[in-house]
Amino acid sequence: MMWHDPRIARLITLIRAVLRPPAGAARITLVLAFGALCHALFAAGVLAMIVAMFFGLSESLGSVPWPWATLANAALIVQFPLAHSLFLTTRGGRLLARLVPGPHGQTLATTTYAIIASAQLLALFALWTPSGIVWWRAEAAAFWAMTAAYATSWLILLKASFDAGAEVQSGALGWMSLLARIPPVFPDMPTRGLFRLIRQPIYVAFALTLWTPPVWTPDQLVLAIAFTAYCLLAPRLKERRFAARYGARFDQYRDEVPYALPRLPKDHPDAQ
């Protein structure tokens, strides 16, 4: 039953606590401001990414003159994976907690992380300077087929994010915990849903979104190659953290579940 899912039970407990917050106007103001900023930037960043890649990065607000646009676009690509990975390290986590002055920086760390990541995505896709070159634009049936593949990739990414813990992925865990005055409780090691098939469904789904847009340009190809490499390599760092945190549990999970490609069913010889 869905209601026996520990993730659903944890989220319901958190929401119930939030609906009965203790007094504290300054804390509540801080929480609501962080929550509004986090989710507004999250929505804007994801929307900018969906729309920009749908047009193969041929439409954007960037207007850096060429050839300087090459350096500007390269910087926009590099800044996301660098900061995204840095803040997941031990040192990066301590820095993240210090970005919010006062006693609540650690509690709000996941929200702060989501704010920074969302702002990075928004900058990347809103400030990209298009090359003006379009190699291929799907038409007729091909357009609808590619659009369906693109939409499906995003739905898979949404499902994988939920399986990993929607409150963490969206940044809600931090501000909701502070509002309820409870310590943030992170989801357990994800092993359900798409995590039963592969260990890194979020990164794989993200990579799928890069290769399924209905418009192809040199801009989209560069982005797809760069971020696909990131999607294949960055989870290695994540798995080191999981190995240190979960020990033998993760070792067993890693032995049983493939990294990025589901295993094909083994052929069984016909009974004689």
Question: What percent of the chain clears pLDDT 90, i.e. is strictly above it?
Answer: 54
- Asked if 39 and 31 count as a contact pair (C-beta separation under 8 A), the reply is no
* Percent of the chain clearing pLDDT 70 (strictly above): 88
Q: Specify the pLDDT at position 20.
A: 54
Q: How confident is the model at residue 237, as a pLDDT? A: 85
DSSP 192: S
Residues 6+ apart with CB under 8 A from 153: 205, 208, 209, 212
Interatomic CA distance for residues 243 and 238, integer angstroms: 9
> Residue 2 above 60 pLDDT?
no
Q: How confident is the model at residue 67 (pLDDT cuts 50, 70, 90)?
A: very high
Spatial distance between the Cα atoms of 241 and 235, rounded to a whole number of angstroms? 10
User: For position 91, what pLDDT does the model report?
Assistant: 82
Q: Average per-residue pLDDT in the chain?
A: 87
Residue 200 has pLDDT above 50, yes or no: yes
Each residue's pLDDT tens digit, 220-241? 999 999 999 999 988 888 888 8
Does the structure show a pLDDT above 70 at 19? no
The model's confidence at residue 6, banded by pLDDT at 50, 70 and 90, is low
Q: What is the mean pLDDT of residues 211-225?
A: 97
Are 18 and 181 in contact by the 8 Å Cβ rule? The answer is no
Q: What pTM does this model have?
A: 0.83
Which DSSP letter does residue 66 get?
A: T
Section 117-133 average pLDDT = 95
Q: Which residue has the higher pLDDT, 37 or 181?
A: 37
Position with higher pLDDT, 89 vs 20: 89
Region 162-172: what's the mean pLDDT? 87
CB crowding 147-174: b at 16 or more within 10 Å, else e: eeebeebbebbeebbbbbbebbbbbbbb
For residue 15, pLDDT beyond 80: no
Identify the band that residue 166 occupies on the pLDDT scale cut at 50, 70 and 90: confident
Say yes or no to pLDDT of 4 above 80. no
Q: What is the mean pLDDT of residues 65-84?
A: 93
Query: Do 175 and 126 form a contact (C-beta atoms < 8 A)?
Result: no
pLDDT for the residue 272:
41
Predicted pLDDT of residue 178:
86
